[in-house]
Amino acid sequence: MTADPGKCLDEAYWLWVDLIDHDGEPTHEQLAEVLAGLQHIGLRDQILADMPGLNEPMAATLFGATEAAQQWDRIDSSEKLLRQLLTIASPAHAAAPLTMLGHICWWKGRGTAAANYMHVALTFDPDYHLARLLNQLLGAGVVSSWAQHKTTAYRNHH
């Protein structure tokens, strides 16, 4: 990676896209680069918003409230990569992938699993803002719109 932070984040983003779209086995160095990038909130949010493969506003995508059906295969590839990131993440860097995994569970309508991920993320970083917000959504019983409609629900994908 270069010394230019913007370029480093851009490289981490495109590495993420390449890894989830081509289903290869990432190297330890590639995992480390992506994990480092996810520590930046803007990149984490951009990756979350792009994960479903939709050209929709970020807020609609993050809340699973789009009219267009998401690409569950792409989300599943992202979930696999996030699990791989956890294998190398120190506790100080685990909140981002844990929160993202919980977000995916929430999109899929798996509230208990999502809450478990938020609990662990908040154990590692009690001030991790996105985990706190998702934890509040889960506590209020909010279900993602995708999980509520038969055309977008994950169970119909498989």
> What's 141's domain CATH number?
1.25.40
Q: Which DSSP state fits 69?
A: P
C-alpha 144: how far from chain center: 14
Tell me the three state secondary structure of residue 26. Answer: coil
CA angle 59, 104, 54 (to 5 degrees): 50
**pLDDT per residue over 110-120, tens digit each?**
999 999 999 99
Give first-to-last CA distance, the chain, whole Å. 38
Structural domain count of the chain: 1
Residue in 152, 125, 140 with CA at minimum distance from that of residue 68: 152
Whether 93 shows a pLDDT value over 80: the answer reads yes
pLDDT confidence of 48, banded at 50, 70, 90? very high
Its domain, for residue 55, covers: 5-156
pLDDT at 7: 83
